[in-house]
A and B are shown apart, each in its own frame.
With several copies, the nearest count.
Chain A
């Protein structure tokens, strides 16, 4: 199974997490992150989000996610990584992104999982557009995402 998937379809988090340690005795820690569509997500002021549409750059998304994983593997001792990012139209409460990292020890798993999310947020070519009762609006990039990613630069 490929370790990066960019897809419209939902995914099975339990199966993905289990696959990271299935049949091996060296995995002691699996850290995961699941990102969901929030109904109250606001780009500035505004009203409830009724849906979210994710646009991406086919080809580059997969390449950039793979590069982020390779970078994580060069920094920590990892035994398995899985990244799934959905695109298309998603409703509040729906899963957007899954990152799972397996390692012998929890420190590596936690750090790599958070690193991958921080880099994904600033380097993977996805863009969110929110549907609201007043119409669609593109989500602005957040300053806090840049500072989260820059933490990892030495």
Chain B
């Protein structure tokens, strides 16, 4: 399946990417699995490893790690929010 991934704030700066389009194998079917998949790129990408303080949204709604990722989803990763 094909998804769009967005990165924001300090995570965007750490990774050096604001967004990318990915084609995923069918085994990567949850937010947690996607994070693990990306963290395996190594280097800066280890910022996405399990246990790091990263939040996720799918199609612009906050989601937990077990939420299912579907074809054409827009998935965002970012640090805890600090607005207001």
Q: What residues make up the interface of A, taking CB atoms closer than 8 Å to B?
A: 35, 54-57, 59-60, 63-64, 85, 96-97, 106, 117, 120-129, 138-142
Contacts and interface: CB of A to CB of B under 8 A. Distances in A.
A35 B83 CA distance: 10
Contact of A117 (B8, B9, B10, B84): B84
B80 interface: yes
B76 A57 contact: yes
A85 B6 CA distance: 21
Interface stretch (B30-38, B55-63, B64-72): B55-63
A142 B79 CA distance: 12
A136 B60 CA distance: 27
Interface string B1-25: 0000010111010000000000000
A141 to B, nearest CB: 3
A63 B61 CA distance: 8
Interface residues of B, number: 17
B83 A63 contact: no
A60 B18 CA distance: 15
A60 B60 contact: yes
Contacts of B10: 127, 138
Which among B61, B78, B79, B82 has the greatest number of chain A C-beta atoms within 10 A?
A: B82
A57 B78 contact: yes
Nearest to A118: B84
Contacts of B6: 57
Contact of A128 (B8, B12, B61, B83): B83
Given A125-B8, A127-B10, A57 B83 contact: no
A121 B84 contact: yes
Contacts of A35: 84
Contacts of B80: 122, 141
Given A127-B10, A127-B78, A56 B83 contact: yes
A96 B82 CA distance: 12
A111 B40 CA distance: 45
Contacts of A60: 57, 60-61, 76
B79 A138 contact: yes
